[in-house]
Amino acid sequence: EEVLAAFQRHELALPAHLSPEASVDEQGHLVLPLESLRFAFCEANFRTAQKRDVIRFGKHGLAGLQEERKRLPKEIGGKQFFVGGIRVSIGPYIGIIDAETNKPGVVHLAARILDGIRTTGLDDPRQVELFNQLYDAVSTGDLRVRIRLHHASKDAQQFAKRVINRRTIESGVSLPDVIELQDHPERIMDLMRLVSPSVADGNPCGYFVGPGRAHKEQWVDDASDGFQNRNLEIAAPKFSAGDPDYCVRGPEIPQEAEVLAGLLGYVGQDQSHSRLYAQWGFPDTDTMRYMHKSGIGVFVAHDVRVDPERTYESRIPMLTRRRTVLLPSRDGDSSATAERQPSSDIFFDDKRFAAFQKMHGEGARFLLVRHEAPDAFDEEQTVPEEVLVWDERGFWVRPESMERVERVDTLIAMYGSHVKGMTKILTEQITRFELRMKKLFKERGGVIHGKGPGVMYITDHVARHLPELAQGHPDFADSVTEPMVSIGVGIDLEQQDQKINFRPDAQVDFGAQHRLVRQKHMNDRATFNVFNLGGAGTLEEIALSLCSQKLYKNILTPLIFVDPKGISNEGGNFWAKLEAFIDDMSTTKQIVVEEDGLPERSVQLGEAEVSQARVNIQLLQGHMKNFIHVVDSYDEAADIIEAFVGDPVGYYVKAGVTKREFITAFEGALEVRRDTNFPMPHWIDVHAYSEMLEDSRWPKEAQETP
């Protein structure tokens, strides 16, 4: 009963397909089946050097020797060894795997302790090493591993009260949870003050920190990108394994790293997350991947990229004693210098972004320390120094916003350039628009936008202050009680002549030469696209949105174009010409065939021959013109979105979308959502999709499925 009560208190957890009642025996032991996986071992790679690594580094020496494979074998052969996995999450307890399984003759080889708090999270399987002592094979389907539970130490139980809850017992106690990053960002910032941006500054290149230990990574002689990264590759596995030449413990740990070293032993999820490496700029991606395979799971830095010229070639220190950086004065005097806060070079290129996403999928985690900076939109405010966490969806997220960001499945992209003289009307209209969208999508809705001024900043500012703004709108005062998630996707062009906004809940920035990656990033994650007045950049974003719908890569949704002022040359809506142009592209026309090399006809063609000499031209699907909505206000934009969400099939049928096209677009969007780790919107998820397929309003000729 005590064990079952622990499940109710969210101190223990099992996968959804296992019930606690069926998984606890009369003695209170957990009795768990093997998961559908195995750990394969490559004997061909187990050479002398690898044997030495396994002896020296334990499981961290298994890189290239062992890997997880899908599917559980039906049986374990006689006298055969098998490495499988179980899934269990343990809070303020200690689990001990029994040597005896439920099948006589099949034993767990080594007594294994599953530490409390560290053994949290159901995504990561826990290895079990089994041996069949019998000569006959034993089936695996009904094999059960027994785990005895004991109370953890008093210190662990007290710590569990702070970090164990329904979310962490299921997803695992992460490093941000353990170090209480939201309330104590200084635990990371203090560590970062030990490292330097360049070889000339004197402080170490970086620091490794793990449970009860640390290691100072010095700049190598004649430092270069290649030399320094190779030195990291040498140090990482040795630190992971606790090599005394690469670890200091106890009083030798720097004061700035003491708290971290004392807490990291509690990190759950992937056990590599209990070991981190901090450096001014993230190391080379290939180096980080090698370090991750060697047991380093978390990487911390100020910058996304390292500038080799400033890092290795500069012989002049960059940092002052106050940790500010010496830069040329802005007054035009090339010989003068001024102290400023170091700028964070946070702009991704396409390869770096793809590598971060791939490494995160492989289990690595990233933290970004951003310096205190002036608020470009409010001279009396500053954006404080902060630590952001890389999210699987491809953004840096504030710790306090992570749960809210993870709940979002419907993003509204708000495009448009900065247009002077429109702040008041846009603020009023976008406020009403976001209040209606918040009421419609509740916690599942968010906005995504650029990080510059104008409609981009207004969208973000309104989203973050929505509850306060709702008080001025009686229809929403009671229903809108929390902000709307705001995601900023920036580009360094915005810094050349425009202010840049650092306030969104989640954000990511790309270099100007990688703007198409930035636009695809937004397009792949957005459900609705709303375009305000804009120039060439906005046209580029419109073209990408049109192409994505044409290629059925996104959910087919209305494309909305807003002109609140009517600024066209004729005094009408700015987007009316674009609407006519798209109508032209999606309308079928006939042209006379004029192929090169064909003889000219000297006789008059008959009617049948004339029809054969003509071909149909259509540059966009016919329904595309019906997805274009040119409106004069964001109130009309909200009307269109609300009507679409209320009856998607009705909208599709009226627009001329066939059932086959709907299916193709849904499957394409599902693939894109899997790649971006975004769920399908709740109002058009798999259950709603099935119901939509059965709707009787689809034209009869389009009812067959592909």
What is the per-residue pLDDT across 164-194, written as a single tens digit (0 to 9) for each? Answer: 999 999 999 999 999 999 999 999 999 998 9
Highest mean pLDDT among 377-381, 494-498, 662-666: 662-666
Reduced to 3 states, what is the DSSP secondary structure of residue 415?
strand
Q: Decide which of 642 and 60 is more confident.
A: 642
Q: Is the pLDDT of residue 597 over 70?
A: no
Decide: 217 and 232 in contact? Cβ < 8 Å: yes
Distance CA 511, CA 499 (A): 16
pLDDT value of position 340: 62
Highest mean pLDDT among 140-149, 222-231, 563-572: 140-149
pLDDT value of position 604: 52
User: What are the beta bridge partners of residue 510?
Assistant: 348, 491
pLDDT value of position 700: 83
Reduced to 3 states, what is the DSSP secondary structure of residue 538?
helix
Q: Decide which of 438 and 327 is more confident.
A: 438
Burial call 454-471: b when 16+ CB within 10 Å, e when fewer: bbbbbbbbbbbebeebbe
What is the per-residue pLDDT across 83-137, written as a single tens digit (0 to 9) for each?
999 999 999 999 999 999 999 999 998 768 999 999 999 998 999 999 999 999 9
Q: Which helix (H) or strand (E) holds 389?
A: strand 386-391
The average pLDDT across 8-16 equals: 96
* Candidate from 22-36, 300-314, 556-570, 573-587 with smallest mean pLDDT: 300-314
pLDDT value of position 112: 80
* AA letter at 441: F
Q: Is the pLDDT of residue 602 over 70?
A: no
Q: Is the pLDDT of residue 603 over 50?
A: no
The average pLDDT across 226-239 equals: 94
Helices 423-441 and 455-464 pack at an angle, to 10 degrees, of 50
pLDDT value of position 601: 46
User: For residue 264, what are its two tokens?
Assistant: 């990291």
What is the per-residue pLDDT across 457-488, written as a single tens digit (0 to 9) for each?
999 999 999 999 999 999 999 999 999 999 99
**Considering the entire predicted model, what is its pTM?**
0.88
Handedness of CA 42, 46, 50, 55 (dihedral sign): positive
Distance CA 417, CA 534 (A): 5
The average pLDDT across 390-412 equals: 96
User: For residue 206, what are its two tokens?
Assistant: 């970086």
Among candidate residues 633, 467, 668, the one with its CA nearest the CA of residue 556: 668
User: For residue 460, what are its two tokens?
Assistant: 């973000």
What is the per-residue pLDDT across 261-302, written as a single tens digit (0 to 9) for each?
999 999 987 888 999 999 999 999 999 999 998 999 999 998
Distance CA 338, CA 319 (A): 11
pLDDT value of position 253: 97
Q: Is the pLDDT of residue 418 over 80?
A: no
Residue 494: pLDDT band (50, 70, 90) is: low
pLDDT value of position 480: 94
Decide: 8 and 121 in contact? Cβ < 8 Å: no
Residue 390: pLDDT band (50, 70, 90) is: very high
Share of the chain above pLDDT 70, in %: 90
Residue 535: pLDDT band (50, 70, 90) is: confident
Distance CA 236, CA 259 (A): 21
Domains along the chain with CATH numbers: 2-36+72-171 (2.70.40.10), 175-328+337-392 (no CATH), 408-586+622-702 (3.40.50.450)
Distance CA 560, CA 231 (A): 53
pLDDT value of position 42: 84
pLDDT value of position 339: 64
What is the per-residue pLDDT across 613-655, written as a single tens digit (0 to 9) for each?
677 887 888 899 999 999 999 999 999 999 999 999 999 999 9
* Candidate from 138-142, 195-199, 303-307, 362-366 with smallest mean pLDDT: 303-307
Residue 259: pLDDT band (50, 70, 90) is: very high
Q: Is the pLDDT of residue 522 over 90?
A: yes
Mean per-residue pLDDT of the chain:
89
